[in-house]
Amino acid sequence: MSSSAVSSDFLLEHFNRRDSAVEQRIAEGIEKNRKGTGQLRFVDGEGRSLSGVKVCGRLKRHEFLFGANAFMIDGYDSAEKNARFEEAFTGVFNSAVVPFFWADLEPQPGEYRFDRNSPKVYRRPPPDVVLDFCRKHHLTPKGHCLVWHQIFPKWLPEKPADVAPLIRKRLQVIGERYGKLIPYWDVVNEAMEKYMFTEVKMLPSDYVYQAFQAAGQYFPPSAHLSLNEATAYSWREFFDETTGLDLLAKNLILRKARLDILGLQYHLFFYENGGLSTRVQMMADARDIYLDPKRLFKVLDQHASCGVPMHISEVTLPCYKELANSEAFQADLMRELYRLWFSHASVEAIYWWNMADGAAYGKEGELCGGLLNADLSEKPAYKALRQLVREEWVSSFEGRSGETFDFRGYYGTYELTIEHAGGKKTCEILLSKHNETDFVITLESQAKSAASSRRTPSVALTR
């Protein structure tokens, strides 16, 4: 099939078949894995149960992480563009990837670009700038990446024995400054691809294990440590019963490394003649590998056997110029993939990679894989993702309590509006997959609350 003959229908054929077993698994998976039940009990200041309390609740923030890299925070040439980027980002996502690339973070030995006044580097805002953005918008930060065989400083020595202590020092410095502030970290990036970079000789032979050992020492237990792997070794190199990534992860676990998360990249770009291809034919040739939901589920199930949660850690869905209606195809494929990933019990996060066109790494920009156009206007994929995250996958409830009030909804933070005895209060509760709880909400009497009408009800959790 020539590139001109490739159509969206051909690429989406496996999804469009609507296999009943696949559709049932997705529907049941979302219901079982992404939702839970909660119970509200209202009491007065003396601990006595209250009934007839009117309560309205709506999901405010998912527990499941939907994110993207925040490499363009404060990176545009005008305040207006920067504000538009932030608005679009927070209109969909609840998590942001913070750049920690070694070459850009430590351009000279011991000189770190951590703080807000650091020299500007394109696509590399200082971590403090991105953390300010996260705090402002209640986003969960994720650090990327601590050890990688690319984008490393030119000043690194050539001998592995000399580099090993520098890796430990890097992890110590970052862990001490940011370990308690950032709960997720890509410790090692694309280890399975290192063999392709024959010129990179300075990393120790067992650097993956050594990096996780150091991260386990210098990062607190609250920091979740991830092995983040490239697309081919996350999805293509699958042999029904195992993958190379699967074996690497299990090796680390058997050696007592602190591996908390397995990161699976999903960049749908391909290489030929030593470079990145912009031909849609490459995707067509790989359709049965990357665009078959049955196979995708099998790969996820195999990686889940490692026993740690998974992040779909970097997503790029190109808009190939040769493909008619390429933006509609991008939106349709995004919806199919996000539904599938969201339904899987072991997947806890999905990260789109580049938010906007015109701001990708190298030749990747030619594939136009952003959710926004270069002028920051919304593509159909952005609107489709917002519809999923902010409309379709949202729960709300309303009613009056008896002895208790039971509800079921997506895991996450709910804002409650409570009316009783002429008073009206608001508070937030977290319905969590990892710690399902009943909630006891104490309501002061109208007389007591009159003097402090701005106070929210106290919320006590009982297990």
Is the pLDDT at 2 greater than 70, yes or no? no
Is the pLDDT at 457 greater than 60, yes or no? no
Q: Average pLDDT of 26-35?
A: 98
Q: Residue 4 — very low, low, confident or very high, per pLDDT cuts 50/70/90? A: low
**What pLDDT is recorded for position 87?**
98
**What pLDDT is recorded for position 454?**
34
Is the pLDDT at 455 greater than 50, yes or no? no
How large a percentage of the chain has pLDDT more than 70? 95
Is the pLDDT at 449 greater than 60, yes or no? no
Residue with tokens 């919320």: 459
User: What pTM, to 2 d.p., does this model score?
Assistant: 0.95
**What pLDDT is recorded for position 423?**
87
Angle between helix 160-178 and 207-218 (nearest 10): 30
Angle between helix 326-343 and 293-304 (nearest 10): 40
Sequence-ordered list of residues with C-beta below 8 angstroms from that of 326, at least 6 positions apart, any chain: 8, 318, 319, 320, 368
Q: What angle do CA 144, 177, 208 make, to 5 degrees?
A: 45
Q: Average pLDDT of 18-29?
A: 98
- Which residues are registered as beta bridge partners of 310? 262, 347
Q: Average pLDDT of 256-267?
A: 98
Q: Average pLDDT of 103-107?
A: 98
By mean pLDDT, which of 65-69, 192-196, 210-214, 274-278 is the weakest? 274-278
> CATH assignment of 34-53+401-462, given 2.50.20, 1.10.287, 3.30.1600, 2.60.40?
2.60.40
By mean pLDDT, which of 148-157, 247-256, 389-398, 437-446 is the weakest? 437-446
Report how far residue 354's alpha carbon sits from residue 379's, in angstroms, rounded to the nearest whole number: 13
Report how far residue 243's alpha carbon sits from residue 218's, in angstroms, rounded to the nearest whole number: 30
Q: Which of 415, 414, 266 shows the shortest CA–CA distance to 351? A: 266
Q: Average pLDDT of 403-408?
A: 97
For the stretch 309-368, pLDDT in tens is 999 999 999 999 999 999 999 999 999 999 999 999 999 999 999 999 999 998 899 999
- Which two three-digit tokens encode residue 97? 């990837």
Whether the CB-CB separation of 282 and 2 falls below 8 Å is answered with no
Is the pLDDT at 445 greater than 90, yes or no? no
What are the residue boundaries of the structural domains of the chain, listed by start?
3-29+64-392, 34-53+401-462
Name the phi and psi angles at 346, rounded to 5: -90, -10
Q: Average pLDDT of 183-201?
A: 97
What topology does CATH give the domain 3-29+64-392? Answer: TIM Barrel (3.20.20)
Q: Average pLDDT of 266-283?
A: 94
**What pLDDT is recorded for position 241?**
85
**What pLDDT is recorded for position 462?**
42
Residue with tokens 């919806």: 335
By mean pLDDT, which of 100-114, 180-194, 203-217, 415-429 is the weakest? 415-429
**What pLDDT is recorded for position 3?**
57
Q: Average pLDDT of 250-263?
A: 98
Single-letter code of the amino acid located at 111: E
Is the pLDDT at 458 greater than 60, yes or no? no
Residue with tokens 């527990």: 63
Own/partner contacts of 129-133, CB < 8 Å, gap of 24 or more, are: 129/73, 129/74, 130/70, 130/73, 130/96, 130/98, 130/99, 131/98, 131/178, 131/181, 131/182, 133/70, 133/73, 133/86, 133/96
For the stretch 194-244, pLDDT in tens is 999 999 999 999 999 999 999 999 999 999 999 999 999 999 999 888 999
For the stretch 113-143, pLDDT in tens is 999 999 999 999 999 999 999 999 999 999 9
The phi-psi region of residue 126 (left if phi > 0; otherwise alpha if psi is between -120 and 50; otherwise beta) is beta
DSSP state of 407: E
